[in-house]
Homo-oligomer: A and B are copies of this chain.
């Protein structure tokens, strides 16, 4: 995670952000414009109440020229009117930039159940469009426009890729939403290949959680201006690196986090069982509070494992905390004082070896702190 490193910005894109007045202060609307057209791939929330912008963007893939993002209002649970508002946003942006409405993608984050203030949305799009005349490439302004309670701007670049994201900070305080925008000028042999590599790289976003909640707006976009042919190896390496950077920043900036916890499930029967257990362990309030308390409480890890329903060889299951073996079919003697020292670090880890197969999953999460409760028990108003 290099927050201040000099970043590469891919060719073919105009990008910026503006304040439309939706937020009390600060930028709240961002636009990406690719006059030559982009190829896009995306992964979206699987929530049955996926927000209107998710439904629209899904329809508008894979070819486009414009992406409009806003914070403050999620346009989720807004029914037919919300769908019309998102459609109108596309039509308005299309008119301003001289493209077709189905060449516009949209992404929103913020309060659920409130309608988009369309006059402000339109005013914001015009404002960003005006900045393009003088300063066509202001990636940080775009990144700022999607931030909510993120405590720092999340940007990464590797090779021909640039990415920004907003993390799971609560919005007013509605729900944790993850939005990520990855731009590149690199192309590989075909769109299906690009999509496949993207889905693999974006898999890291399914191996992290702050509180196990899945929002109505979660979206990860990859937009390529297709200017430069690169090898699949390089494409994959750089894309994977930006995804990993962004995932690490999201966890690092998780609400109320005092620890970053790396969970490894090893020797599982299948990849899906390994992932299920890792996700289930990451959602355990007792494990998350134990790490908050810097306590080597392997009993909670073992109990949660036993409650998960995955296949295991109970007599051979091993548990490691910060690399220290603490259980192998029975409690193992360990130097508790030394382990407590390791648990005082910000970066901690534990591993469960199920001793039945060959699949593994590495997953990131945060602890649960009193701050998490304070942030999320706040009032809507």
Residues of A participating in the B interface, judged by any CB pair closer than 8 Å: 46-50, 76-81, 111-114, 174-176, 211-216, 283-286, 289-290, 292-300, 302-307, 312, 314, 327, 329-331, 368-370, 372-374, 376-380
Q: What residues of chain B lie closer than 8 Å to A304, measured between beta carbons?
A: 213
- State whether B380 touches A50 (Cβ < 8 A): no
**Contact assessment for B376 and A303 in the assembled complex, using a CB-CB cutoff below 8 Å:** no
B176 touches A292 (CB 8 A): no
Assess whether B113 is in contact with A176, with CB atoms less than 8 Å apart: no
> A211: which B residues are within 8 A, CB to CB?
285-286
Tell me whether A293 and B78 are in contact in the complex, defined as CB-CB below 8 angstroms, given that A46-B307, A213-B286, A373-B369 are known contacts. no
Bound CA span A223–B216, Å = 49
**A377 and B292 in contact (CB under 8 A), knowing A212-B285, A305-B48, A306-B216?**
yes
By a CB distance below 8 angstroms, the chain B residues around A114 are 331
Q: Are A331 and B113 also in contact (CB < 8 A) when A47-B307, A76-B299, A297-B380 are?
A: yes
In angstroms, Cα B214 to Cα A140, docked, is 46
Hey, which chain B residues are within 8 Å of A376, CB to CB? 285-286, 289-290, 293
Chain B residues with CB under 8 Å of A46's CB are 307
Closest-CB distance, A166 to chain B (whole angstroms): 17
Given contacts A176-B286, A213-B307, A292-B377, 9 further A-B contacts (CB under 8 A): A50-B306, A79-B331, A80-B330, A113-B298, A214-B307, A290-B376, A290-B377, A369-B373, A370-B373
Tell me, rounded to whole Å, the shortest Cβ–Cβ distance linking A58 to chain B: 15
Q: Does the CB pair B299–A77 fall under 8 Å?
A: yes
From known contacts A305-B48, A377-B289, A378-B293, infer whether A299 and B174 are also in contact, taking CB-CB under 8 Å: yes
User: Could you say which residues of chain B place their CB within 8 Å of the CB of A76?
Assistant: 299, 303
Chain B minimum-CB-distance residue to A304: B213
| Given known A-B contacts A47-B307, A307-B213, A376-B286, A331 and B78 have beta carbons under 8 A apart | yes
CB-contact partner of A77 in B175, B290, B330, under 8 A:
B330
Judging by beta carbons under 8 Å apart, are B380 and A370 in contact?
no
Q: Which residue of B lies closest to A287 (CB)?
A: B213
